[in-house]
Amino acid sequence: MSQDHSGVARPTLPEPLPYRLARRDIIHLMGVEDCFTPGDGEKIGALWKRFMLRHAEIPNPVNQPPVALARVLGPDNRFDYLCAMQMTDPAAPPEGMIQRSLPPADYAVFRHAGPVTTISRTYQLIFGAWPLVDRNFRIPPIFLELFLPKFDPATGEGGVEIWVMLQASSAASRA
């Protein structure tokens, strides 16, 4: 807690996480998806296991580690979570899978360096302390988890980048 000039105690906000800005062209993804609430880490792990049994069925895969796409659904913080592979071109998904494409967009990119089992702490720092509108995040948020090339799914170590989609600039929306 800190005090303002009137002596009133107010909570101290954590320091913002370091990030970089990046642009991505259109992204085509295919995989398995389910709906979750915060704290469903074990259920998300089960979705990843289900995906890993089927990822070889995905057509036109990009030779990169898998990714996750999460879309917050509303104020209760429920979210769709897609375990996926990037694809060079969209295609009809095999039964039980879905295909999603994201438009070109700007992102704030945050690094999660610890084990993937602690990624919720990084999300709390990204989304918890400051109003989303102050950070220009898309509302409701859309974010990607990009697993780094050294990521080891057996240990959950090796690093993940969290790409948070930003609001379109007014200049871009006029174009």
**Residue 34: in which H helix or E strand, if any?**
strand 27-36
The yes-or-no verdict on residue 66 having pLDDT over 50 is yes
Q: Decide if 3 contacts 81 (C-beta within 8 A).
A: no
The yes-or-no verdict on residue 172 having pLDDT over 60 is no
Q: Is 103 helix (H, G, I), strand (E, B) or coil?
A: coil
Q: Is 149 helix (H, G, I), strand (E, B) or coil?
A: coil
The structure tokens 């095999």 sit at: 94
Q: Tell me the whole-structure pTM to 2 decimals.
A: 0.82
Looking at the chain, the whole-number percentage of residues with pLDDT higher than 90 is 50
Domain boundaries, the chain: 17-174
Q: Which residue has the higher pLDDT, 73 or 23?
A: 23
Determine the average pLDDT of the residues in 78-85. Answer: 94
Report pLDDT digits (tens) over 20-61: 999 999 999 999 999 998 878 789 989 999 999 999 999 999
Buried b (16+ CB within 10 A) or exposed e, 134-145: ebbbbeebbbbb
Determine the average pLDDT of the residues in 3-20. Answer: 64
Q: Decide if 127 contacts 168 (C-beta within 8 A).
A: no
Domain 17-174 falls under CATH 3.20.80.10 = yes
Taking the C-alpha atoms of residue 27 and residue 31, their distance in angstroms, rounded to an integer, is 13
| pLDDT confidence bin for 164, thresholds 50/70/90 | very high
